[in-house]
Amino acid sequence: MSSPELAGITANQLLDPSVDQAALAQLAGSRPDLHAAILAHPNCYPELADWIKQTNPAAAAQRAAADPVVAADPVVAQVQPVVAAPVAAPTPDFTTPAPADATPAYQQAPVMPAAQFAPLTAAKPKLGWAPFTLLAGVVIAAISLFLPLVSASGYGMTVTSGSYFNWPDDQNIKTLGMIWLVMLVIVLLLTILAIAVRAMWARVLAGVLGLLVGLAFLAFGGYMIYAIGAASSGASLFGVSGSPGVGLIIFTIAAVVMLVASIGMFIKPKQAAPVAS
């Protein structure tokens, strides 16, 4: 409770049992008209009650008159005769040093230790869906590099071609597969970095490279699917047909996943609520 609130408090408001000891001590020093109400409060500790009885006998007597049980207090009993004559409540003198044994108890009111106020620490930003989706796209694309690229059928037989790394008699396909794999490893490492540091610059870096690789994969996969379809149309005259292999299909799907996730990496995730350290 702040000082302005204490200045305007009334005796009826002091009936509230939630008023703490520190507030009662402040009121005792600034509001002698409330001394009787303070004595009646359940949070009035013995030291504060003794100080009020010593400095304001009239308030102590008024409290005793209201509650016969208090009259048994020897300190109050000594001041009972004072009730007959109206006595103005004295104002505590805070300028004159008091004896060691008469130190106002309100100056010793319990104060919550500062250590109990745990400082708030800003929580790390949330990761969101984008980094994990990008990781999934990279892993799927890497697996597709080891799966068949083309499937051909004719004359009652179905033949599947090799992957990038076991394509028969074509070193260029193997080289292209190695280039794709290196690019995927770089995107993978940058995405893991973005997850670890949770910094926007790391997300943007992984998103830029993921976007470029995803576009390259989508362009190559789309071209290969088109080329295989065109070649299959011409070969169908001879009873032979071709179709994209499972590796090429998964490769193209992974490219789309990477593109979507890379765009998501540019979106700043929401900040988590502060937590007590």
Amino acid 32: pLDDT? 87
Task: Tell me which of 118 and 239 has the higher pLDDT.
Answer: 239
| pLDDT higher at 31 or 218 | 218
CB-CB contact of 189 with 182 (8 Å): no
Q: Using an 8 Å Cβ cutoff, are 17 and 39 in contact?
A: no
The CA angle 256-209-125, to the nearest 5 degrees, is: 90
pLDDT for position 128: 86
Distance between CA 6 and CA 8 in Å, rounded? 5
pLDDT digits (tens, 9 = 90+) for 79-133: 444 444 444 555 555 555 555 555 554 454 444 333 333 444 445 667 789 999 9
| Range scoring the smallest mean pLDDT among 61-70, 239-248, 263-272 | 61-70
> What digits encode the pLDDT tens for the residues 5-29?
667 788 888 888 888 888 888 888 8
All domains in the chain, ordered by first residue? 16-109 (no CATH), 130-276 (1.20.140.150)
Of the pLDDT bands very low, low, confident and very high (cuts 50, 70, 90), residue 153 is: low
pLDDT attached to residue 99 = 55
In the DSSP assignment, the letter for residue 154 is: E
| More confident site: 89 or 167 | 167
Q: Can you read off the two tokens belonging to residue 234?
A: 């011409």
What is the maximal distance between C-alpha atoms in the chain? 129
Q: Are 54 and 102 in contact (CB under 8 A)?
A: yes
Instruction: Give the span between the Cα atoms of 273 and 196, in whole angstroms.
Output: 19
pLDDT of residue 14: 80
pLDDT-derived band at 230 (thresholds 50, 70, 90) equals confident
Rounded Cα–Cα distance for residues 159 and 82 (Å): 116
How many beta carbons lie within 10 A of that of residue 121, not counting itself? 10
- Among 56-70, 74-88, 155-169, 262-276, name the one with the lowest average pLDDT: 74-88
User: Which of 110-124, 206-220, 244-258 bottoms out in mean pLDDT, i.e. has the lowest?
Assistant: 110-124
Computed over every residue of the chain, the mean pLDDT equals 75
52-71: average pLDDT: 75
Calculate the CA dihedral of residues 252, 257, 259, 264 and round it to 10 degrees. 180
The separation between the first and the last C-alpha atoms of the chain, rounded to the nearest angstrom, is 26
Whether 256 has a pLDDT exceeding 80, the answer reads yes
CA distance 85 to 155: 127
What confidence score (pLDDT) does residue 125 get?
Answer: 64
Q: Which residue has the higher pLDDT, 240 or 46?
A: 46
Rounded to an integer, what distance in angstroms lies between the CA atom of residue 141 and that of residue 66? 86
CA angle 183, 195, 254 (to 5 degrees): 40
pLDDT of the residue at 157: 52
